[in-house]
Amino acid sequence: MLTVLRWVAYLPSGFIAAMVGGWVGVAGARFGEFIGFTTSGAFSAAAFVCVGLAVAPKRNNIVKWTLVIPSFFVGVLSAIGESLSEDKLRMSIGISMAFCSIAFAAMPAKEIFPNNKTESD
């Protein structure tokens, strides 16, 4: 039963973690607006992938890709949406989300959590 709940909860928990990570990343704004936007996007993508993998019962590449792909597309859509607004600097949120997602895409799932067992272990 717990396994089923973890499968149901891994995407919503990743989404909630992404919102919290974005909020925490805004703390970088004390060093400049661009840094605040960039850290907000990167923290959002990292929190979505890491927490999603932590909650999922299996940490394999299929689960990793189900987290990386939505994170990448949300970042791209955010950058496109902000390109239509007056504040073009906010595009850096989406761009940093997309680049952070690409960085996680290049990593095997077992390297994101090296001390935990994956399906292949």
Interval 85-104: pLDDT, tens:
898 888 999 999 999 999 99
Question: Could you tell me if residue 119 is inside a domain?
Answer: no
Q: What is the pLDDT of residue 121?
A: 44
Question: Could you tell me if residue 120 is inside a domain?
Answer: no
The tens digit of pLDDT for each residue in 10-41 reads: 999 999 999 999 999 888 888 888 899 999 99
pTM, entire model: 0.87
Query: Which residue range(s) make up the domain with 28?
Result: 2-110
Structurally, the chain folds into a number of domains equal to 1
Give dist(CA 109, CA 9) in Å, integer.
Answer: 18
Higher pLDDT, 109 or 45: 45
Give dist(CA 68, CA 5) in Å, integer.
Answer: 21
Pick from 61, 60, 64: which is nearest to 11 by CA? Answer: 64
Q: What is the pLDDT of residue 7?
A: 92
Give dist(CA 21, CA 80) in Å, integer.
Answer: 21
